[in-house]
Amino acid sequence: MIKLTAWLAFALAPLGASDFDVLIRNARVVDGAGNAWFRADVGMKGGRIVAVGRRGSASADRVIDAKERVVAPGFIDVHTHIEGSVEKNPRGDNFLLDGVTTVITGNCGSSELNLAAWFAKLEKLGLGLNVASLVGHNSVRAEVMGSANRAATPEEIRKMQALIDRAMRDGAVGFSTGLEYIPGAYSNTAEVVALAKAAAAHGGVYTSHMRDEGIHEIEAITEAVNVGKEAGMPVEISHLKVDRRSVWGASDQALALIERFRREGVDVVADQYPYDRASTNLGIRLPHWALAEGKIKERLADPPTRAKIAAEMKANLQEMGEPDYGFATVARFTSKPEYEGKTIPEVAKPRGHAADVDGQIETIFDLMNAGGAGMIYKLMGDADIERIMRWPWTAIASDGGIQQLAVGRPHPRSYGTNARVLAEYVRQRGVLTLEDAVRRMTSLPARTFGLKDRGLVKEGMAADLVMFDPAIVQDEATYAKPHQYATGFDCVIVNGKVAVDEGKATEARG
């Protein structure tokens, strides 16, 4: 037996074993820290980066000639939603081909609750990406309280804390809220602080899809920061934006406030996706109270309540500065996929409703009665997007999920976030330098979430790398045709395994 094993080892690793498993030669290294690029070779062994420098005479099982292309740390996307989609495509092609090697999921208050069981299941599937998860407030609250529209009792707080404590012990990296969604919207700040403390006890980060991203954004930022201060944990503001036409431009006040908190010693940063449209459910257009206890159908069937919901929706439209629901496009409506890609005014007609706002609200009620819909909303202005992107502590993150080619009409951000920043905001508009953009995709998110051995091209770090030509890298996904992989990421390495080779996903599961 010993002899056979020795023979096998000999056969698999021929005499004079290589210096490296993989060696990338002739690279321009963008190290992730924000430093100016430098020329070097990068050697990897055992899933780690073991050499960065001139290694002209070294041998390797696989040598990749970068031919002056950029080699950067694999991108760390700290804002994703892969629950339910990773099982269908564990390799995560849309992320890999956008240069992503690590995702953090469980954002916006929505996560798996039994993380130990979920992680075990994912291990068996064989993942293409590194995955970490937050534990989500809405998932925890739904488990303990359903969609009750009231404050939690002390007993319910204890039960929710116990679920968060277990998730943190199972490896969660922090606690996320989605306070614009049901049932998180029914909670008060005291509840959020009490729950955040259960995650802070294990060194977790607090990430928040805030209560408001428009007219009341200043109050919402203050709440998020206060949760971090009171619970004693770092804060990441999720997908920072100004999502009301009526207050476009307000990002300067928002960033000034966050800067003030930072000067006072609060560790608060943000993430952002580089698009002018948001993507979420249809229910978010209705008043929160209308969705309580899952009784939306009953409420819509009661004429006075239906009229009250419609009146509040009209008032909200006015507050947003929108003339009608032309900003709202159906992304996913499984019972009538022909609606996908159409705006609410465009769907009103085939539903037999008038094209005016009243008819559009009736259309929304129809879709809610049919179980709701996935939506894309044109809500953000260019000036705010660029200003938020220039702020030094904004990480690039997609807010996307793992996609299956040709299923639904998802937001293009799942396919093209990083390529779009490099093509549009670095190459075309010059909003960021290449080195700074890469920093926001790598070492900044690694710092925030405590991923100590990722996010830099440096000896000893995990061998997560991406290789691309900054002159041609390009996002291809659009709102009209989202199922298009980004192009230009020629090589992506995950824990030393070549996961994308010559621009194509391989069978390797890093």
Residues that bind Zn ion in the complex, under the rule CB under 5 A: 108, 209
- Residue among 409, 402, 410, 424 nearest 274 (CA): 424
Give the position of tokens 């109050």: 219
- Residues 6 or more apart whose Cβ sits within 8 Å of residue 303: none
* Residue 82 contacts residue 94 (beta carbons within 8 Å): no
In whole angstroms, the minimum distance from the beta carbon of 275 to Zn ion comes to 13
- Burial of residue 103 (number of CB atoms within 10 Å: 0-12, 13-18, 19+): buried
In whole angstroms, the minimum distance from the beta carbon of 506 to Zn ion comes to 32
* Structure tokens, 310: 């419609």
* Pairing mode, strands 205-209 and 174-178: parallel
In whole angstroms, the minimum distance from the beta carbon of 444 to Zn ion comes to 19
Question: Which CB, 110 or 363, lies closer to Zn ion?
Answer: 110
* Residue 281 contacts residue 374 (beta carbons within 8 Å): yes
Q: What is the dihedral of CA 477, 483, 489, 492, to 10 degrees?
A: 140
How many CA atoms lie within 13 Å of 309's alpha carbon, on the beta-carbon side?
A: 26
How many CA atoms lie within 13 Å of 366's alpha carbon, on the beta-carbon side?
A: 18
* Structure tokens, 500: 């994308």
In whole angstroms, the minimum distance from the beta carbon of 207 to Zn ion comes to 9
Residue 290, classed as helix, strand or coil, is helix
Q: How far apart are CA 204 and CA 198, in angstroms?
A: 9
* Structure tokens, 304: 């006075």
- Burial of residue 121 (number of CB atoms within 10 Å: 0-12, 13-18, 19+): middle
In whole angstroms, the minimum distance from the beta carbon of 289 to Zn ion comes to 21
Question: Which CB, 108 or 192, lies closer to Zn ion?
Answer: 108
Question: Which CB, 101 or 279, lies closer to Zn ion?
Answer: 279
Question: Which CB, 178 or 482, lies closer to Zn ion?
Answer: 178
* Residue 465 contacts residue 494 (beta carbons within 8 Å): no
In whole angstroms, the minimum distance from the beta carbon of 109 to Zn ion comes to 8
Question: Which CB, 45 or 209, lies closer to Zn ion?
Answer: 209
Q: How far apart are CA 291 and CA 360, in angstroms?
A: 19
Q: How far apart are CA 462 and CA 141, in angstroms?
A: 36
In whole angstroms, the minimum distance from the beta carbon of 138 to Zn ion comes to 11
CA 142-371-148 angle, 5° bins: 25
In whole angstroms, the minimum distance from the beta carbon of 235 to Zn ion comes to 15
In whole angstroms, the minimum distance from the beta carbon of 278 to Zn ion comes to 8
Question: Which CB, 170 or 236, lies closer to Zn ion?
Answer: 236
Question: Which CB, 384 or 490, lies closer to Zn ion?
Answer: 384
Give the position of tokens 């609060």: 266
Q: What is the CA radius of gyration of the chain?
A: 24
Continuous segment of H or E residues that includes residue 203 = none
Question: Which CB, 280 or 443, lies closer to Zn ion?
Answer: 280
Question: Which CB, 208 or 495, lies closer to Zn ion?
Answer: 208
Question: Which CB, 377 or 468, lies closer to Zn ion?
Answer: 377
Q: What is the DSSP letter of 78?
A: -
